[in-house]
Every structure is written in C-alpha cells, then in structure tokens.
Amino acid sequence: MVSGLVPKQDTRPLNIPTYENANIRVSETSNRIVSGLLQKVNCLGAQLVLAWSGSSICARSVFRDILRQNSTPTFHDAVRVLNERQNENGMDLYLTGISIEAVQGPAQQSTRFAWDSEAGWNTKHRYFSKYNNCLAGGTGSDAFLDLLSLPIVDQPAQKSPMEMAICQSLGFLAKLTGDQIRTGVGIDETFFGGAFELATMFRGQIQKVGDISYHFWEARSEPSGDISMMPHVALKVEYFEDYLIIRKVSFGGQVADALGANEIYIIRPVHRTIDEAERKRLIASVPRPSMNARFAALYVHMPEKRAPHDCYVAVHKSGKEYWNGQIFFEEDGNGLDMRIHSDTLQRVQRALLPATGG
C-alpha cells in the first residue's frame, strides 16, 4: 500500500483487498491518504530480489537505473547504483534483498543485504534467537518483527525446511492481514496492507511464492455446546507475468450461493508503468484465479477469548491434488462451494473450547 499527500476530501473511495474504502481509517490529521497499491517485492531477474519502503518515485528511479545496468542484474549491479544514490538530495528509500551468485561452476552463494538512503548498508537489524539477524525497514516493519517472538502459528509437519519456513512466514502474514480485515489496524498507523508477498531461493533461482490462499473466519460456541464458524473473506495470491493478482471473495451468507463481493486486483511492479493499451490487455488476458491453493493460511477470530489470544492462525500445504488439502473450493457459473477438512474443524474447536470450559 502506498500513500500520498492529496487531501482526503478530494479522493474517491479506494478499496484494497483487506479493507473497503481504506481512507475512512486514515485520520484527518495525518495529511496523507492511501493512494494505491504497488508491489513492494520485485524480482529483477533470477539472481536478485529487492523489497522496498519509502518513496515509490525513488524506488522506481533506482530500480530502473539497476535494470539499465543489466537486464538481468546481479548484486554488483545494484551496489554500483546504490552507492551512487547514497545521500542523494530528496532520496527516501530503504531496501532489503537477496542475491545469488555463481562461485565456481554450478556452486552458488546467497547474500542477504539491506540498504538505507541515509544510513547506508546493512542497517536496521533485529536479532531473534530462532531466526538470527533479521533485516527490516519501513513503517510496518516493527509490527511484523514483533510477531516473530510469538508462537502464534499452528502448522502440521511439512516435508522440507523450505516449506516449513514458507508456512511460518505465511502464518505471521495471515495474523497481520486478519487483524487489518477485522479492525483496519495498520492502515492509519503504518500504511501497510492490501497483500503481502514472499520471495525466496528455489531451484537455483530467486522466485516469488505464489499459489497462496488466505481464509478469514469467526468462531463462536453455541449454547448447545456446538461450535459455529462463519467464513468472512478469502484471498488468493497468484501471479500473471510479473503482475501480482489478488482475488478477493467476501461471503455474504451461505457459502454456496451468497457472495457479497468477488473482486480481482492487478498490481504492477514499482518500476513498470501502464498505459491504456496495457490496461486493456490485462483486463482481457488476466484469468480469474482458482481459490484453491498450494499453501493455505487460516485466521479465525474468536471473540469469546481475550486478546492477544483471540485469534487462531494455522497454515497448511496441500499436495499436488488440491482436493486433498484442508480447504477446497468447487466453482461453476452458479456459485462457489467450499469444503473443509474435518482436521481443520477439530483444530479450531480445540483452540476455542478452553475459553468456554469445554
């Protein structure tokens, strides 16, 4: 999410995936508004990924300079540009990134780094015993880092350390996203939201992680002793070329036949511009993503429990067959049918029951 200085009274309502008319959450005294959505994580080829915060104009300028150095830039290409732009007048930018470089033959070496337009290289560290040194910047970074010390994510055993790391990250992102959907937190305070992206090394290349769904529910105990669960919103994160695609489904009643909203967001990288011809191409070409996903993150608000334990977060990775996952959708022209694995229901029930004496 990016912000601007246009007066609030002069703006049209702006929806983001996590909140309808996001600017109603922005205080009049902030002198800022939510002005749009841009990708904050950008893969500049298979060897370099940069995540940015600060001025979108500065980010666009720096990224384009790096790409002018090399259409498939390396870390050294980025270093040359960033050293030249250090302490530049008007520069407001913080970057974190990962690069991979060939060492000898097929061997590769990865480098994590951070750069600040004022403070220079590898600043803004935060150490955690479980994750070691973390590099993070931007107005929303503290909110994310504060979650890293909390064991909030329930996840079954995964097949590899990579999958476990992705699922753990998705759990933290689901917590931030769910809190924003429910209360708007993070919009006025830190201007983060809309979606979150992940990038990592996979099969020798820097890649973004797509095929992710987020599900936001509410669970309550009934006088009969049963547990009632109501789905509110589902988000699907996917990619088309280098565009981020987010499909949002809001449930307005019975899941099978009453949808309150079904929206698609097409979000560009910061260094790309879109003219009218490109806009028409995207509208005609971008498919509506399936709500089924390889990685599924579940956020369940439990109003009968007190904060900070009033939400349950779980992450699951499906196999090659989506129908074998925890949450499965069947869709046709007449509606959307959602099936939930009994294991997921039992895990939510176990999270809720201690608060009710069960």
Angle at 156 between CA 316 and CA 288, to 5 degrees: 5
**pLDDT for the residue 332:** 77
State the pLDDT at residue 354: 61
User: How much is the pLDDT for 10?
Assistant: 66
Q: Is domain 2-153 in CATH 3.40.720, yes or no?
A: no
- What residues form DSSP beta bridges with 51? 41, 96
More confident residue, 252 or 27: 27
**What is the mean pLDDT of the segment spanning 141-163?**
81
pLDDT at 123: 84
Q: Is the pLDDT of residue 69 over 60?
A: yes
CA 40, 319, 261: angle at the middle one, nearest 5? 55
Across the range 237-243, mean pLDDT stands at 95
pLDDT of residue 239: 95
User: 298 is written with which tokens?
Assistant: 């579940």
pLDDT at 356: 47
| 148 or 55: which leads in pLDDT | 55
Model confidence at 259, pLDDT cuts 50, 70, 90, reads low
pLDDT value for 253: 52
pLDDT of residue 59: 96
Q: Which residues sit opposite 153 in a β-bridge?
A: 313
pLDDT in the model for residue 291: 92
Those residues whose C-beta lies under 8 Å from the C-beta of residue 10, and which sit 6 or more positions away, are: none
Local confidence band at 203 (pLDDT 50, 70, 90 cut-offs): confident
> Is the confidence at residue 353, as pLDDT, over 80?
no
Cβ-proximal residues to 83 (8 Å cutoff; 6+ apart), any chain = none
- Model's pTM, two decimal places? 0.90
**Contacts of residue 195, Cβ cutoff 8 Å, sequence gap at least 6:** 17, 18, 37, 177, 235, 237, 244, 246, 265, 267
Of 4-13, 179-188, 344-353, the poorest mean pLDDT is in 4-13
User: With 90 as the cut, is the pLDDT of residue 352 above it?
Assistant: no
pLDDT at 175 over 90: yes
pLDDT reading at 258 higher than 50? no
Minimal CA–CA distance to 18: which of 179, 194, 174? 194
Q: What is the mean pLDDT of the chain?
A: 86
* Token pair recorded at residue 66: 């790096």
Domain boundaries, the chain: 2-153, 207-356
List C-alpha distances in Å: 197 to 35, 169, 208, 258, 317. 19, 10, 7, 29, 17
Lowest mean pLDDT across 68-77, 109-118, 304-313: 304-313
- pLDDT top residue among 225 and 259: 225
Quick one: what percent of the chain has pLDDT higher than 70? 90
